[in-house]
Amino acid sequence: MANLSLRINGKAHHIDADPECPLLYVLRDDIGLNNPRFGCGLGQCGACTVLINQTPVRSCMLPVSRAAGKDITTLEGLGTPEHPHPVQKAFIQEQAFQCGYCLNGWVLSAKALLNKYPHPTDEQMKTAFEGLVCRCGSHVQIAAAVRRAAGMKGSA
């Protein structure tokens, strides 16, 4: 066990945890966050995605010790129900999800993409979303939500 300092959604947290424990388990079990979600446990679906220093990371594969001292943002840290982040708002307006289980990966990856490319191309979107799984097939609505959040028009 180690005493670790984590900065999650702008708040400091001090926890005792096995340094090799996946960040996902610490976020859910020790911190009590409802997102990210456990999907595959292999870093292949993206349901566990968080932003670490504004970069999308699969939290099921990242030892908590490697997240210590870094800025961790979960879906809960983007906005509130009353004041959603512009990316969240765009996803809502485009009705981009059916079940919402994969929401973390898509929304947080879209935020990181738009931080890097304010008006991303289809190819940049494809690269940013590589490895994310949406079993409901909402890919067209997701692309529309990214375009809306970027202030873009048009279709893929």
Domains in the chain, ordered, with CATH? 2-77 (3.10.20.30), 86-149 (1.10.150.120)
User: How many alpha carbons lie under 13 Å from residue 46 in its C-beta half-sphere?
Assistant: 19
pLDDT at res. 152: 66
Helix axes 139-149, 86-93, angle to 10 degrees: 140
pLDDT in tens, the chain (156 residues): 999 999 999 999 999 999 999 999 999 999 999 999 999 999 999 999 999 999 999 999 999 999 999 999 999 999 999 999 999 999 999 999 888 899 999 999 999 999 999 999 999 999 999 999 998 889 999 999 999 999 964 433
pLDDT at 98 (0 to 100): 87
Q: Find out whether 1 and 18 touch, Cβ atoms under 8 Å.
A: yes
- Kindly list the distances between the CA atom of residue 147 and the CA atoms of 18, 24, 74, 138, 142, in Å, as whole numbers in the listed order: 41, 29, 22, 14, 9
| pLDDT at residue 156 in the model | 38
Contact 18, 63 (CB under 8 A): no
Q: Which two tokens stand for residue 32?
A: 């009590």
Parallel/antiparallel/unpaired status of strands 11-17 and 49-52: unpaired
Question: Reduced to 3 states, what is the DSSP secondary structure of residue 11?
Answer: strand
pLDDT at 114: 97
